[in-house]
Amino acid sequence: MAKSGAHILLECIAKEGVDVIFGYPGGVTLDIYDAMPEFDIRHVLVRHEQGAVHAADGYARASGKTGVCLVTSGPGATNTVTGIATAYADSIPLVVFTGQVPVNLIGNDAFQEVDILGITRPCTKHNYMVQSVKDLPQIVRRAFYIARSGRPGPVLVELPRNVLNESMKFNYPSEPVRMRTYNPNLKPNLNQLRKAAGAIAEAKRPLFLVGGGVIMANAGEAITRLANRYQIPVTSTLMGLGAFDGTSPLHLGMLGMHGIYAANMAVSKCDLLIAVGARFDDRVTGRVASFAPKAKIIHIDIDPTSIRKSVEVSIPVVADCRLALEELENILERQKIEGSVSSAEWLEQIDAWRRECPTRSATSSAAVTFSSSGQTDIPDDLVSVSADRDKGKAAFVRPQAVIETLYKLAGGAGNKTIIATEVGQHQMWVAQFYPFSHPRTLLTSGGLGTMGYGLPAAMGAQMALPDSLVIDVAGDGSIQMNLQELGTIAANRLPVKVIILNNHYLGMVRQLQEFFYKKNYQAVGMEVQPDFVQLAEAYGLDGYRVTCPDELEPVLREALASERAVIVDIHVEPEENVYPMVPAGSGLDEMLLA
């Protein structure tokens, strides 16, 4: 039977198991929308194409499936770029379909024509233009295959309008996708793994470094078994949080620029670092020359380019993380390695570091005297607030306390609460103060650091997991970058909870100006902002405000229990800083602690 390109496209998408498309229509994609009612695919109309891509990204991270977007040509396509680059930096499987003017107009500077293939070449895993309807099925199938296999990533498919309304006879091909030039290696080299096992057996001060690849490969359980059985402590990158139980005594927390003290010290002193699914980002390593200076490094990653890109490693293993770890387990078993690999001194040393600079108790203790002076709004003069703090009387909630309260109310192993974040101080506080116990429960833009990611990502995650509690922890700066998606949240009755840590600043930038530019605060004030409670109400959502510590827990409790979407605007200490902090160009053991 002859079918139109639009039909064939949707049939191929449906066959990939896609049930949701995040999109925004336009002139050249109308044929697809016309055919859509015939398919069991839900289309979510976003308010901006960037929101569509982040939503598909959040959907993919939370569910492990491939996220799908559909946008029109020209500005529709260019608006996806930040979202695509975000997904590329964090290896998230997406397929982004963009319309295009008909093939005969391409290159003509036609209305809403842009060279989106050229624009996205450096930020996609691959991209395609469909030149003719006969190529359409193969390209769509390859796009999904490339996006989710190997090291996942976004794939863009450009659909010229004529391809969508041309027809051809079509039966969905039964044979699996095979490509001559793309065939990612999944299986580990056993010799390398035997070397790795030998290094583990010899180590006295071993440490696992868990990255986002462990979550991608569903290798968290394998790490957990190995770490527990051989008593190997675990640190995690931002992207790896949740792969290993954050409440386990073996978990040291996140390492890196804003890493936990014990984690950064452990990396600096370990004699064996087993890095799995991590790419040694500069935010993780600090000064490379002094990264893990005493350690032999085992590096397991599916992407050969990750290996020896920034850090020299002794034992590289290019493979799927889960397969590699399972095989490593077998080898250790066969070699009859038993009991704790870590020496007693090593585990004691780690506990000593924890005592030296504890993360949780320090901030939740009464080091700061809160006063519930009934301050209801940001004072005109922010400086007076700092002066207040200096006297030991903060009028505001401490931002770290918000995260801890959030964990108390919604976290823990029993709850698979999903936390999305934007980018900035609040993101680091989430990473430091919210112990993630399950993979795929933290959605955050780690590699690209995209402000405005969290709200649409939370929306996408809520679409994937309608029964889960999904929270976007935001700053007052970031939340304003994709506010328009409140419309999508309202329209689809998605009960997303937005928690704004409102310090009336672009806090992370302000912190850098405080530390390194002598408090010359330029372009970081957010004095003028919407009344977020009224904003929520304007969208038909519920708004709450917290201005003093006493209100924090009861208001959060009520907001989280709501069945509707809510915004909680929490006025926090304006000049709070994220600690520890490793200044640019310093080693991980050279942290600023306060």
Partner 1 sequence: MRHVLSVLVENEPGVLSRVSGLFSGRGFNIESLNVAPTPDPETSHMTITTFGDDQILEQIVKQLRKLITVVKVIDFSSQATVEREMMLVRVGAEDGVREEILRLADIFRCKVVDVGHTELVLEASGDQEKLAAILSLLQKYGIREVARTGTVAMRRSLQPDYSKEQA
Footprint on this chain of partner 1 (rule: CB under 8 A): 117-118, 121-122, 125-126, 129, 146, 179-182, 303-305, 308-309
Q: Residue 10 Cβ, how far from partner 1 at the closest point, in Å?
A: 24
The nearer residue to partner 1, 180 or 355, going by C-beta atoms, is: 180
Q: How far apart are CA 291 and CA 591, in angstroms?
A: 13
**Which residue's CB is nearer to partner 1, number 91 or number 427?**
91
Q: Cβ closer to partner 1: 134 or 564? A: 134
Choice between 180 and 391, CB closer to partner 1: 180
In angstroms, what is the minimal distance from the CB of 126 to partner 1? 4
Residue with tokens 């116990």: 437
Shortest CB 89 distance to partner 1, Å: 13
Number of C-beta neighbours around residue 377 at 10 A = 9
Shortest separation between residue 154's beta carbon and partner 1, angstroms: 13
In whole angstroms, the minimum distance from the beta carbon of 316 to partner 1 comes to: 11
Nearer to partner 1, 39 or 182 (CB): 182
Helix 190-202, helix 321-334: angle, nearest 10: 60
CB 1 within 8 A of CB 163: no
Listing DSSP states for 44-64 in one string gives EE-SSHHHHHHHHHHHHHHHS
SS3 assignment, position 140: helix
C-alpha–C-alpha distance, residues 460 and 382, integer Å: 36
Of the pair 103, 337, the CB lying nearest partner 1 is at 103
Sign of CA dihedral 374, 377, 383, 386: positive
Which of residues 37 and 118 has its CB atom nearest to partner 1 in the complex? 118
Q: How far apart are CA 549 and CA 399, in angstroms?
A: 10
Cβ at position 240, least distance to partner 1 in Å: 22
Q: How far apart are CA 503 and CA 476, in angstroms?
A: 7
CB of 270 vs partner 1, minimal distance in Å? 23
Helices assigned H by DSSP within 436-485 = 454-464
Q: Is the dihedral of CA 452, 458, 460, 461 positive or negative?
A: positive
Burial class (CB in 10 A: 0-12, 13-18, 19+), 375: middle
The single-letter code of the amino acid at 6 is A
For partner 1, the closer CB: 153 or 424: 153
Q: What is the rounded distance in angstroms from the CA atom of residue 127 to the CA atom of residue 441?
A: 29
Q: Which residues pair with 121 in a beta bridge?
A: none
